[in-house]
Structure 1
Amino acid sequence: MARILVAEHEVPVREFIRRVLQQRGHEVVVVDDGAEAVVKLARLPFDLLLADVAMPNMDGVELSLKVARDFPNLPVLMMSNESIQRRRSHDIDSLMVILQKPFTMVALNDAVERALGVNVKVAGPPAD
């Protein structure tokens, strides 16, 4: 499966993400903030960066801009509380994929699979 870097400062959210993604067979590396994520990205190759928009030291927006410049082939999936997203990101959801907090295991797995380019099965009748 994939090696995923998770940058999230809230420990319960970070551990939930780690547990869910490891259950799917992914290798998960977690860090507290964007600055730590930059250090990990310089040391290891990753298939996906999953980052919170609001973090101390270096927020997710700054981190995603750095990743776009330094690692242009690395997909980035952002996470945000709606209130923070509206206040701080200035419609960043039009620029990148945002996973809205709180999210379920299913929503997390679907978003990760989409970001990794894996076909996601959508419930409903077959397409004609």
Structure 2
Amino acid sequence: MARILLVDDEASVRSFLKRGLELDGHQVETAGDGAEGLEVLTAEDGAFDLLLTDVRMPLLDGIALSHAVQARWPDLVILIMTGFSDQHERAQSLNNLAGILLKPFSLGDLRQQVARIVG
């Protein structure tokens, strides 16, 4: 299965989504904000199959994180989660964007999107 980096500033959301993705056999690492996510990616030299990131977070938001990822690891696929439809335009410039999950979404919706992306 896939190796996924999940970045979200809400600990309860991270924990819930991590457990749900692990049920499908994925290996999931987590980070609490974009800056921490970038640190994890740098330490692992981008060795993930999917970056799953929220948009609105302190320090470094998910779109800025995604742009940094695109520049450094252009093959790393990105799935964005957001409750703000205005973020679509900011995300459209990402070449490696696999999709945008609009909140609220179900765990089933997420698992289905991840299965579609990672095969």
TM range (shorter): 0.7 to 0.9
The count of aligned residue pairs is: 113
Q: Is the 8 A contact 1:53 1:85 kept in 2?
A: no
How far has the Cα of 1:94 moved from its partner? 4.1
Displacement over 4 Å in runs of 4+: none
- Map 1:81-96 to 2 at 5 A: 81=83, 84-86=84-86, 89=87, 91-92=89-90, 94-95=92-93, 96=97
Q: Give 1 or 2 for the bigger CA radius of gyration.
A: 1
What does residue 74 of structure 1 align with?
76
What does residue 15 of structure 1 align with?
15
What does residue 63 of structure 2 align with?
61
Distance (whole Å) between structure 1 residues aligned to residue 37 and residue 28 of structure 2: 12
Structure 1 residue runs without a partner (length 5+): 119-128
Alignment RMSD (CA, Å):
1.4
Higher relative contact order (CA 8 A, sep 6+): 2
Q: Is the 8 A contact 2:63 2:91 kept in 1?
A: no
Structure 2 residue runs without a partner (length 5+): none
How does the TM-score come out when normalised to structure 1? 0.82
Q: For 2:85, what is the secondary structure of its paired residue?
A: helix
Higher deviation after alignment, 70-79 or 41-50: 41-50
> How many percent of aligned residue pairs carry the same amino acid?
41
What does residue 111 of structure 2 align with?
109
How does the TM-score come out when normalised to structure 2? 0.88
CA shift in 2, pair 1:91/1:38, >3 Å = same
